[in-house]
Amino acid sequence: MGKIAINIATGSLQKEEIIVGIDLGTTNSLVAIMHPESKKAVALREHNSSSLVPSIIHFTEQGTVVVGDAAKEKLASHPASTIYSVKRLMGKAYNDLQKNKTSYQIIDTNTDSLVRVAIGGKSYNPVELSAEILKELKTRAEHILKMPVAKAVITVPAYFNDTQRQATRDAGKMAGLDVLRIINEPTAACMAYGIGVNNAEPQVVAVYDLGGGTFDVSIVQLQQGIFEVLSTHGNTYLGGDDFDNAIVQYWLTKHPTLQASQELRLWAIEAKKQLSSSTNFEQPFQDVLLQLSIEDFNQLIQPLVNETLQSCQSALTDAGLTIADVNTVLMVGGSTRVPLVKQQVAQFFEKAVNDSVNPDEVVALGAAIQADILAGNTKDVLLLDVTPLSLGIETMGGLMDVLIPRNSKIPTKAGRQYTTSKDGQSGIIISVYQGERDLVQHNRKLAEFTLKGIPAMPAGLPKVEVSFLINADGILQVAAKELRSGVQTQIEVKPQYGITDADVEAMLLSSLENAEADIKARALVEAQTEGEQLLQTTEAFLSKNSGLLTQAELLSTAAAMQALQLSLTMTDKDLIHAKMDELNEISRPFAERVMDVAISTAMKGTKI
């Protein structure tokens, strides 16, 4: 049955469906919509209040939940029951968070499932906590708009993996929202800036997005409304929170009598903000005077800023571009207000940065534009995102066969045909991996399932097509089908939780550092696999046709097989190929003889 939206404030029908854009941030979150009259994206706010809702949740002693500014006031007085930086917990297991110092208790559940936070005898996972923030945003939007809000577009860092994207979608569902699309924050920022919509000539834009808890950079090509992400790079565990922690550690070193506390962290945040417009910070605290100069602050955060610049270089390299190819640099995220960040980014890209749009609101504004596109109200913009890591399956010998390379545009689909390696094989195990190395042991396993019920056929005869589909949200679906019999199965890949950000970052670096070794390893494994298959084939041939061979032929074949078997235990692919050639050379004459006998038998008594 169709639904009609009614504006409660005016009593009039709402002709266009309201779909909100939500920036679910580490430090702050907010909602934006496309204004029905001005047709411009605007952040929702009440009167002169801020559009930002602190991403903080407080659980009262009575069991009620408080979100936003009211919860922020409880950070110092009730640190154990006030949760902040939830976004950093998304898609994480306990072992990922060993370096994460929080005032609330994170539970070790001894599993790879989502980490849990203990509060007042109960425990909550990051999806449940994020859902509380989204509920508050939904309620706030409905209060301001005076109408129900049920659909949303939610943004995530470009470097969020499948697990984190799915967790974000699940949080939206728990909050009562139909999440129509998960889009990357840098891409949303491009849409908010409106660069490239009316340009005939293509432009290359670097989107530098440094928020409270995450960082990513995207290289985007814009032309006549088409937003094409060429590459992306980043770290889902680097942001303004780390600037705050660096200040706290600095003060703890300077004043050994102090202890880490939520109140001290709040003063660190205040120091960071003040140093954006002044050169010194001073604050009496307990029995000491907290001090921080702009020089000391810059020295503390320089290593963190350097990490972001390394990601910028990696993103350019992946896109096949140089700094000279970049036309514009967009600054996104509240942490880009730090003067050193602006200076270093401008110096790296050799041009002034563009921060003309409020960095706290820009992502939500872009999400609102995407929401308007999905509502059918904007038709002159096309969004093309990319997947940050290669996806493939394990083949014989533990090799990674890539079906969708990293930085492929999404949504996308790819497929490839495989076959069985043994006679009568009735099932094939499909192991799905993510990563950049040639051997699966160096990559991340996402999922595994079995295609069962394949009719008994000789090895190599079945045709199994494995297809990967990444939808517009970046969620992977894998299907396998045996084409001759029609047997098929499919799964939506919801990866195991527990990958660390260090692992994600290391994947790309490791693939570059080990490229030469990986090529040699792949060549060796391929040679060993081919050699093993030749031995199996030859052994099966001999057991079936030994009566047609002489004793000398049997001995020479056995010797060649033994030599090949020995070469497989070594690490010389050329030796393996040489021994395969020798075995083929010995077996070819009597294989031809057996074929002649088979043909003669089949044709016996047949007239032509």
Torsion sign (Cα): 84, 85, 91, 97: negative
- Residue 192 is which amino acid? A
Residue 267 Rama label (left phi>0; alpha psi -120 to 50; beta): alpha
209 is catalytic: yes
501 is catalytic: no
Rounded-to-integer distance, Cα 369 and Cα 375, Å? 10
SS (H, E, C) 515-562: HHHHHHHHHHHHHHHHHHHHHHHHHHHHHHHHHHCCHHHHHHHHHHHH
Question: By 3-state DSSP, what share of the chain in percent is helix, strand and coil, each rounded to 5?
Answer: 40, 25, 35
- 3-state DSSP assignment of residue 54: strand
- Catalytic choice (23, 318, 394, 518): 23
Residue reference for tokens 């047709």: 39
Residues 480, 149 contacting (CB under 8 angstroms): no
Query: Which CA distances in Å does 403 have to 428, 490, 568?
Result: 17, 16, 28
The structure tokens listed for 518 are: 């990986």
How much is the CA Rg of the chain, to the nearest whole Å? 30
Q: Strands (DSSP E) along 211-327, which ranges?
A: 215-223, 226-235, 280-285, 288-293
Give Cβ neighbours of residue 543 (< 8 Å, ≥ 6 apart). Answer: none
Residue 333 Rama label (left phi>0; alpha psi -120 to 50; beta): left
Torsion sign (Cα): 514, 520, 522, 525: negative
- Catalytic choice (72, 74, 87, 342): 87
- Catalytic choice (132, 136, 162, 185): 185
Rounded-to-integer distance, Cα 206 and Cα 21, Å? 22
Residue reference for tokens 């994480």: 92
- Catalytic choice (209, 360, 361, 385): 209
Residues 84, 161 contacting (CB under 8 angstroms): no
DSSP track, 373-384: HHTTS--S-EEE
φ and ψ at 564, to 5 degrees?
-65, -45
User: Catalytic residue positions?
Assistant: 23, 87, 185, 209
